[in-house]
Amino acid sequence: MADKTVAILGATGVVGTQMIQCLEERNFPVGKLVPLASARSVGKTVSFNGEDVPVVEATPEAFEGADIVLGAAGDATAKALLPEAAKRGAVCVDNSHAFRLEPDVPLVIPEINAADIANHPRNIIANPNCATIIGLVPTWPLHKLAGLRRLIVSTYHVANGGEMGDTSPFAYQLAANLIPQIGSFKDEGYTSEEWKMQNEGRKIMHLPEVRVNCTCVRVPVMRSHSESITAEFDRPISPVEAREALAAAPGVKVVDDPANLRYPMPLDTSDQDLVYVGRIRRDLSAPDGVNSLTFWCCGDQIRKGAATNAVQIAEYLL
């Protein structure tokens, strides 16, 4: 397999740095790495395979010769620069929100809809929101088993680099507190983050009618998002069947032994790529009692929720 020229847009940020680490770990065939960032980062270097690689200013011309671009920049930068990279022949895998809901841009979690990667007419493929990825990786195998109709989700988002005692990244102090707002408030009193689970989930799973009720909460934890999910299905599904399906599913690790106090937690799921699932149980509030399950999952929002998912998509492009 021929080595590729891979550019990282936003290479000095948290997700960009993790993308470079994932490329190393997964032995991606990088012939040349081009780390791109703003002008103020020029003069810095990033480490890749034991070498210090100089950071290049992110301009349209900087994408010349790139085969694959991994985007780890904000929406405005992505909108301005990734079409320029695509125009020059690179295929871009973008972690921003800029292109996710565009009809001609595939939105991909490889464990769910890898087949969509092949059809990228604009040379752009979108990486979903981190909480969407962490919640859907374990939901998808259950959908294949019983047909998903509805999700009720509460997410427990980590601080994402913000200081817990400092109110500047958040509306309020996060230490010793919970903040039930992530993003700005939109239609029906839901936040932008809460709408992502519904809108992105429908597109990824090709389930335009699935209904999602989501509440996103910022919690004083430094790494790995957690989610409580109740899923309603077309057909009966038992906790035993669900555990068996999840144990066989890619990207999932079942940790579900309440008798021995074993269940997923952020401390155990940080700095790795699986979504841990546990607390799998019948939904006692369901009218029929058998078509609905509740479970708990945790996953690293920087790795599987962002960088690793993007690198996995790039692997399919090979």
**Cβ-based neighbours of 101, under 8 Å, separated by 6 or more:** 107, 199, 200, 203
pLDDT at 162: 54
Distance CA 122, CA 191 (A): 29
Distance CA 134, CA 139 (A): 9
Active-site residue flag, 206: no
Residue 169 pLDDT level (bands cut at 50, 70, 90): confident
In the predicted model, what is the mean pLDDT of residues 107-135?
Answer: 98
Q: Tokens at residue 314, please?
A: 């790039």
Nearest of 134, 132, 136 to residue 192 by alpha carbon: 132
Q: Tokens at residue 24, please?
A: 């190393």
Active-site residue flag, 120: no
In the predicted model, what is the mean pLDDT of residues 233-242?
Answer: 96
In the predicted model, what is the mean pLDDT of residues 50-61?
Answer: 97
Is 39's pLDDT higher than 60?
A: yes
Residue 161 pLDDT level (bands cut at 50, 70, 90): low
pLDDT at 289: 66
196-232 residue pLDDT tens: 999 999 999 999 999 999 999 999 999 999 999 999 9
Domains belonging to the chain, first-starting first, are 4-128+306-317 (3.40.50.720), 130-301 (3.30.360.10)
In the predicted model, what is the mean pLDDT of residues 288-304?
Answer: 93
pLDDT at 300: 98
pLDDT at 103: 97
State how far the alpha carbon of 138 is from the alpha carbons of 39, 158, 275, 279, 298, in Å.
Answer: 40, 20, 7, 13, 10
State how far the alpha carbon of 297 is from the alpha carbons of 1, 45, 225, in Å.
Answer: 36, 36, 8
CA dihedral 204, 205, 210, 216 (to 10 degrees): -50
Nearest of 96, 24, 108, 36 to residue 66 by alpha carbon: 36
Give the single-character DSSP code of 191: B
- Of residues 157, 225, 297, 298, which has the active-site annotation? 225
Give the single-character DSSP code of 96: S
Q: Tokens at residue 256, please?
A: 């579900």
239-288 residue pLDDT tens: 999 999 999 999 999 999 999 999 999 999 999 999 999 999 999 998 87
- Of residues 22, 92, 120, 130, which has the active-site annotation? 130
pLDDT at 1: 67
Residue 250's DSSP bridge partners are none
Which pTM does this prediction carry? 0.96
pLDDT at 167: 59
In the predicted model, what is the mean pLDDT of residues 62-81?
Answer: 98
pLDDT at 34: 98
Is 168's pLDDT higher than 70?
A: no
Amino acid at 185: F
Nearest of 161, 162, 102, 153 to residue 132 by alpha carbon: 153
Nearest of 93, 107, 49, 122 to residue 318 by alpha carbon: 93
Q: Tokens at residue 293, please?
A: 């399950």
